[in-house]
Amino acid sequence: MDNTLVDFQSGIDKLSEAERTRFDGDLDDVPGIFSLMDPMPGAIKAYRQLSKKFDTYILSTAPWDNPLAWTEKLLWVKMHLGRDEESPAYKRLILSHHKNLNHGNYIIDDRTARGVDEMPDGMHIHFGQPGFETWKQVVAHMLPLAER
């Protein structure tokens, strides 16, 4: 989610100076930070488009020392992608510190951490890197793959 679907910096920008100082170096541990974050540009539209062609799940890691983050990530998905059974993300959120335990044909992530670089199968679409800087580029790359 973070820096792929969710603009992490947008949450940081909404923190008070006292919160930034207190949690310096561990900003993802600020209680409530994940509820402050905005979607990345084009992310919601892209997720909806891709979910029509692929069996999509949201795979994210939540900070171990911020138990509220686990709930906030679910609430973020419900707020931005819908909360009912018609939502393309309904019951499709997986929180794990070991992304390599999940299987799929593709993973779209901004990092190789948390096992992304150890995925047993599938291609890593490295969001934010050349060719995949925007959701528009990711969708343009992914849609032809759905036809295979």
pLDDT value at residue 110: 74
CA atoms within 13 A on the CB side of 7: 17
**What CATH number labels 41-146?**
3.40.50.1000
Q: Which of 82, 63, 59 is nearest to 5 (CA)?
A: 59
Cα–Cα distance list, 22 to 2, 11, 130 (Å): 21, 15, 35
pLDDT value at residue 116: 52
- Classify each residue of 69-89 as buried b or exposed e, where b means 16 or more C-beta atoms within 10 Å of its C-beta: beebbbebbeebbeeeeebbb
pTM of the prediction?
Answer: 0.87
Could you list the beta-strand ranges (E) of the chain.
Answer: 6-7, 38-39, 58-60, 93-95, 106-109, 123-126
pLDDT, averaged per 10 consecutive residues of the chain (148 residues), comes to 91 95 94 93 96 92 88 95 92 82 73 59 78 93 86
pLDDT value at residue 40: 95
* Number of neighbouring beta carbons within 10 Å of residue 99: 22
- Spell out the domain ranges in the chain: 41-146
